[in-house]
């Protein structure tokens, strides 16, 4: 296999679920994906106040910062989906290398996207959707993340 940092290495790691990778390669590639998610999320946190302003606060019909924040939100959502697909492809290789079914690779992205949706929805319908459900979902997400980190990044056995 080519270097992980080369274009061929990126294609192998993120564009297909075929093949196998070791623990160190998984850590490197998963860290890269996690850093992208963190950087993009910090960008959204910086722009999100501009997305929650009324017309009275803006003072005019078209506000450039509101437009930029919603454009960024669309790009951010698309990027999160692409990063999720890359994570699934990468983790499927590592699971296969450990002898586990590669279908478990989608557990973290699925849980993260569902929990993100719950965290977004709850403040908007708080009267019918208790916050305890969100806390329970956050705990489940944390458990899934810890399980996958242990399975993919800590263990090195070939027996499931």
Query: What mean pLDDT value characterizes the chain?
Result: 86
Those residues with Cβ within 8 angstroms of residue 150's Cβ, 6 or more apart along the chain or in another chain: none
User: 99 or 80: which carries more pLDDT confidence?
Assistant: 80
Residue 110: pLDDT band (50, 70, 90) is: very high
The DSSP 8-state label assigned to residue 152 in this structure reads I
DSSP for 35-81 reads HHHHHHHHHHHHHHHHHS--HHHH-SS--HHHHHHHHHHHHHHHHHH
pLDDT at res. 4:
63
pLDDT at residue 1 is higher than 70: no
pLDDT at res. 160:
45
Residues 3-48 pLDDT 10s: 666 677 777 888 887 888 888 888 999 999 999 999 999 999 999 8
Q: Which two tokens stand for residue 106?
A: 């989608």
| pTM across the whole model | 0.85
pLDDT at res. 158:
45
Angle between helices 7-14 and 64-98 (to 10 degrees): 80
pLDDT at residue 58 is higher than 70: no
pLDDT at res. 100:
86
């Amino acid at each position: 296999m080519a270097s992980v940092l080369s274009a061929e290495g990126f294609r192998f790691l993120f564009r297909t679920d075929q093949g196998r990778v070791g623990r160190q390669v998984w850590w490197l590639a998963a860290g890269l994906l996690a850093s992208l998610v963190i950087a993009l999320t910090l960008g959204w946190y910086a722009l999100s106040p501009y997305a929650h302003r009324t017309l009275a606060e803006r003072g005019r019909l078209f506000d450039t910062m509101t437009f930029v924040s919603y454009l960024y939100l669309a790009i951010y959502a698309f990027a999160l989906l692409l990063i999720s697909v890359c994570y699934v492809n990468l983790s499927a290789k590592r699971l296969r290398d450990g002898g586990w079914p590669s279908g478990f690779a989608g557990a973290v992205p699925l849980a993260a996207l569902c929990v993100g949706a719950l965290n977004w929805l709850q403040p908007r319908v708080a009267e019918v959707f208790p916050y305890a459900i969100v806390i329970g979902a956050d705990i489940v997400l944390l458990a899934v993340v810890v399980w996958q980190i242990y399975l993919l990044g800590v263990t090195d056995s070939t027996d499931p």
